[in-house]
Structure 1
C-alpha cells in the first residue's frame, strides 16, 4: 500500500529534485536536460539512485552529470493538529 505524501513527509521523506544532463543518442556532442522529482530520504537517496540505475540500463542517452537538491518540507516536530478555527472580521 502506497503512503500519502503527508505520511511520507512525517516519516522523514523530503522532496528531491534532480537535473540530468545527458548526451543525445544521435548527436553525442549535444547535451540535453531532464528534470526528475520524487519524495526521497536523505542522505542515502535510494529512489534517486534507483532512477539513475534505470537510466543507465534502459535509456540510450548516456549520462553526462546529475545535479540534485533535497528539501525536507515538514518535520514531525513541526506538524500539529488544529482542532478549531476563529474567524475575525
Structure 2
C-alpha cells in the first residue's frame, strides 16, 4: 500500500527511541530510532520489531519510548476535483 492509502485507513506515524546495551560493553547505552506507519493502540508493527530485536540482535534492550501521530483525520482530508495553474 502507498503511504496515502495507509493514512486514509487510519494508520499513523509511530516513532520509537530504543535504548539498548552494547554487546561488548554492557554498561554503555546506545540509541536507535525506528519509524513506521502503524495502527494505535495495538502497535503491531512496533511490537513485531521489538520481538525481532530480542530474537535476532545481540544488544539487549534497556527501554523503548515511542510516540504515535495520526497524520490525516477524517475531517482534514477532502477530495480535490480541479486544479488551477498560474504562470
Name the TM-score, length of structure 2 as normaliser. 0.93
Which residue of 37, 52, 58 maps to 1:39?
A: 37
Identify the residue that residue 63 of structure 1 maps to in structure 2. 61
> Please, which runs of 5 or more residues in structure 1 have no aligned partner?
none
Q: Spell out structure 1 runs of 4+ moving beyond 4 A.
A: 86-89
Once the 2 structures are TM-superposed, how far is the Cα of residue 87 of structure 1 from its aligned partner? 6.3
Asked if residue 6 in structure 1 is aligned to residue 4 in structure 2, the reply is yes
Deviations 1:21-40 (A, max 9, x none): 00000000000000000000
TM-score scaled by structure 1? 0.91
Write the deviation string for residues 45-79 of structure 1: whole angstroms up to 9, x where unpaired. Answer: 00000000000000100000000000000023321
Shift of 1:83: 1.6
Tell me by how many angstroms 1:82 deviates: 1.2
The answer for unaligned runs of 5 or more in structure 2 is none
